[in-house]
A and B are shown apart, each in its own frame.
Chain A
């Protein structure tokens, strides 16, 4: 018999980034008892890495903006695979979620009139991103943390959740281990909100923090929840590529929003050659027009010119950089040159202080004088737990998901800036509905002692093995394999191989032995994470194999164009069948009502793009 500590809360929120903190704040304000369980220390979650801003149609910078345009841009950027209901809620509610952050202490950059300033970003028709230099995520997580600590929630830091429990098909709690003390903990819960972020550490070149091992995705899947859109992984076009140790670290899209130009080794501004038909009307044809747009924006005028093609959606720009490399026109270290040094040095330092610092410290490059070298980096997963658009409840009763761990809002490709606004919009909703459901329950579901003991036994297994591999070696091989075979461009052959490779990695993971004790042992932790990483990688490879077309964050070399007739309206759904095998089916969201359809570009919906 293993010993463990037991806790009882109405709502347990797993994850303390933007979505988790916002959910916990909302739930606490409803008067229920809340536990916030997080894998890192409070305030350190991946949200701190968000740079460019949070998208909301405040219309402070351009009065022509409205929720309707934001809705339209989000759907178009997502190649119409979004849950239109979530896209509508998001566009309508994001402005208040951003404004409310200022009343909690956030200090966004200002317009000349003293209102929240907004910057341009890829795929957004108008300047829409509320920001603080290029450290917007830090401001948002700190604000939520500072609000949250006064709300009476119990915070459990450096706790890793390994299992969810259900009773009678409904969520009843979770099992976690406390890294600092090496103890097992059982949390009884009436409802649970998953806000565990993404999965991008499954790729060797990624912008994700150490937490991004898909824990929440796997927990939900193991518990029987439906997982959607797992083939759609966003490769952000601009990650650092040199020196090798910083490869993948994000270079904010804000650089391009502030006028950054992409060029290849021949000095060509190549993005002009990659404007897709569906975006052609909105983008400049010439360098002169692109520059005129930047000049208008910098001098605080409403843009009358069309925007530079560097501001196309991320999927388009990432693939363009990839194609330039394939054509032998890559930068010195295999990417592209991104140049903002044509703007005055003091403006660059003011608008992009983090980028200035990051390149100076890590690469020895002064971005006010030199071009940056950039290339695609695994950045975000559009797929995740399928949720009810209003309440964020998954298909497992009592289990909610918000932020990157959920799916629906972003479709096949997320627009920059829509993630931070997603966190606060749907984090709040998840907290609200999870607390309402918890309030309606008299007591907690039973958790069988056997299940707890089995869970702890499973958790302890790596430490009880000897003579196996270092888990770090398996994680390394997994990430290299995913980078090569389930990367930005995919083929049937590679995806089939990837699925086989994952089975071999699974076998290796089951005999790895990190050694050491229970207290703050990273090797043990990695051995436990591997289980999730392998399962989410499998979901991604399987869904990618099935989708025989190219759309948004999924590109097949053997099916290089979108196939609207077969795939334009279907989303993949993955579940675990009764034998424990992964199964996949395809399904559509309900049809878009006419009044919303009118807001969309009719050409895109019918024709080829």
Chain B
């Protein structure tokens, strides 16, 4: 079997580093990049190489993972500076994009506080999740609606909560609007609730006031990194923005209609 050598340059926390290094942080204040020389085999993904580093060099290298099949969204990291799931990133693709004689870099998500090595504190997401108003539909067990109504929201239900979209979103990453902005993941969640055929709640005031959807200026960074392929910007955020506009009679809606942007 084909075996090849690679250098992985992986972020390691300083020994004894306290957990929950605040954000923003400078990399050197909390740790440093360490190089590991490892062999990799045909078909391997980045997470396999991280596991090999643990098995051969650094048993205590912290990394979060569960399913290794792209279904749980645990192993989010920044590989060669891009937000991705380590388990779905094939080494063959990584080697193609990495310049010759350069190492492959692996860093934790930079948008979230650091716990250790590649592991970040995503508790913000769980707090945000509690603020979502749950589905509210008929008071009976048998709910009936059609597949075409289901299709619209099933896309949003594919979210694996990897938080790569949030990590990439500049409203959070650069401007740290953790308190005023729900972030792409939760706009996806709310779109799923708002477009549910039997749901009777209105979340629009909350989406405008508490969740700050206006901060999003549609750069589509979130959509580009989504490993579940959800069209976050076009199918979730823009329709929610339009609902806000409609509900509040925002003059922008009139302009948008004039220049021909359809609702």
Contacts and interface: CB of A to CB of B under 8 A. Distances in A.
A105 B64 CA distance: 28
Contacts of B161: 43-44, 142
A132 B159 CA distance: 13
Interface in B184-206: 192-193, 196
Interface stretch (B29-37, B115-123, B241-249, B254-262): B115-123
Contact of B115 (A102, A115, A519, A524): A519
B63 A249 contact: no
5 closest A-B pairs by beta carbon, nearest first, are: A243-B43, A516-B60, A523-B59, A520-B62, A472-B55
Contacts of A155: 126
A133 B155 CA distance: 11
17 contacts: A40-B66, A48-B71, A49-B71, A138-B71, A149-B130, A209-B66, A243-B44, A244-B42, A246-B45, A357-B70, A357-B229, A361-B90, A362-B43, A363-B43, A519-B19, A521-B60, A524-B59
Given A41-B122, A521-B60, A147 B66 contact: no
B72 interface: yes
Interface stretch (A106-114, A121-129, A273-281, A529-537): A106-114
B129 A146 contact: yes
A253 to B, nearest CB: 16
B219 interface: no
Contacts of B55: 470, 472-473, 476
B97 interface: no
Given A358-B69, A362-B45, A105 B116 contact: no
A466 interface: no
A242 B43 CA distance: 8
Contacts of A112: 147
Interface in B106-160: 115-117, 119, 121-122, 126, 129-130, 132, 134-135, 137-138, 140-147, 150, 153-154, 157-160
B48 interface: yes
A46 B67 contact: yes
Given A107-B153, A142-B157, A245-B44, A523 B71 contact: no
Given A41-B122, A105-B134, A138-B158, A48 B90 contact: no
A99 B141 contact: yes
Contacts of A524: 59-60
B66 A243 contact: no
B168 interface: no
Contacts of B68: 209-210, 249
B146 A516 contact: no
Interface of B: 1, 15-17, 19, 41-45, 48, 54-56, 59-74, 88, 90, 115-117, 119, 121-122, 126, 129-130, 132, 134-135, 137-138, 140-147, 150, 153-154, 157-161, 192-193, 196, 229
Contacts of B56: 470
Nearest to A100: B141
B144 A115 contact: yes
A138 B45 CA distance: 22
A268 B145 CA distance: 43
B118 to A, nearest CB: 9
A522 B63 contact: yes
Interface string A167-190: 000000000000011100000000
Q: Which of A42, A46, A102, A211 has the most CB of B within 10 A?
A: A102
Contact of B61 (A113, A244, A519, A522): A522
B59 A470 contact: yes
A473 B55 CA distance: 7
